[in-house]
Amino acid sequence: MAGIKKIGVFTSGGDAPGMNACIRAVVRTALFEGVEVVGIRQGYQGMLESNFWDMTARDVGNIIHIGGTILKTARCLEFKTDEGTKKAYENLKEYGIDSLVAIGGDGTANGASRLSQNHGIPVLCIPGTIDNDLYGSDFTLGFDTATNTVIEAIDKIRDTAASHDRLFFIEVMGRDSGCIALRAGIAGGAEAVLLPERDTAIDELIEKLSSHANNQKSSSIVIVAEGDKNGGAYHVAERVKEKFDFYDSKVTILGHLQRGGSPSSFDRVLASRLGFAAVRALLNGKDRQMVGLRGNSIVLTPLEEALHFSHFKLEDDLLEMINVLSI
């Protein structure tokens, strides 16, 4: 069991549906194995403030269905300094925490990697971000739920778009990743999707919309990923309207609506598998790894590799389908 006696678990960065299910799995797996668990509230900020919580199996009861994170989360600039990292480690050591499970995105993984490298504390990371932009896992916690939230919104917006012969531009989250936009665009039957990974000229978009209008499409929906190089949904809508006014145009920014809500069945199961696997990996002597899902298997990826190849590659067939299925 690698001599581990007390595991610290924390969430950091943006919250994602499924984080609570993952915390639950980490806590109960560790306790089942006879290892103490400490919840670290507010991520790296909590480490600096010794905001620790000795957790029991009952502390994680009835949370598997709840969005957000019971451990809270925060951004922490101080932790990024050598002095801050050292102080965090000293607080962990004083409390007897000898290993960590970190749940979050690439910023969380970078911080965990630095803490482990500089001070030798074993760390396992679990990808928890709706952006689905970490290498080493086909899916990250929260991505499926966030995508379903977007699809539900698209379905409702389409009812209005069709009723009024309107063109809707819907902006979705994902930072520099177009994963949510692409999958939601296909599942929601969007006429076009603008992605950070692919340059789409406004003239090209207008040509496509004109073709749809000529084919008697009474309405259209364009999904715009927030990291798209054209500058966001409002800017895209303004530029399209300058040259193409066939439809009455409207813009909807879904924003943080996508980050909340009860996790889907997929995210609950994924969270449970990853939390369970992370504890087992720590107890088997693994360190500085990210736990992920590839195919239907749980795999470990070295943190350096996961962070070096930080962005998820979009599937070629999905990219092609957007054009084919929107005619």
The residues that are catalytic are: 131
> b vs e for 189-199, b when ≥16 Cβ sit within 10 Å of the residue's Cβ?
ebbbbbbbbee
**One-letter identity of residue 283:** L
Choose among 140, 109, 100: nearest CA to 271.
Answer: 140
User: Do 106 and 307 meet the contact criterion of CB atoms below 8 Å apart?
Assistant: yes
The C-alpha atoms of residue 121 and residue 256 are separated, in whole angstroms, by 34
Contacts of 123 (CB under 8 A, 6+ apart): 99, 100, 101, 102, 112, 113, 115, 116, 287, 288, 303
Rg of the chain over CA atoms, in angstroms? 22
User: Do 263 and 65 meet the contact criterion of CB atoms below 8 Å apart?
Assistant: yes
The C-alpha atoms of residue 125 and residue 109 are separated, in whole angstroms, by 6
The beta strands (E) that lie in the chain are given as 6-11, 36-40, 52-54, 99-104, 123-127, 166-172, 192-194, 220-225, 248-253, 289-294, 297-302
User: Do 292 and 127 meet the contact criterion of CB atoms below 8 Å apart?
Assistant: yes
The C-alpha atoms of residue 133 and residue 224 are separated, in whole angstroms, by 17
The C-alpha atoms of residue 215 and residue 210 are separated, in whole angstroms, by 9
Q: From residue 113, give the alpha-carbon distance in Å to each of 76, 100, 120, 122, 124.
A: 15, 11, 10, 9, 9
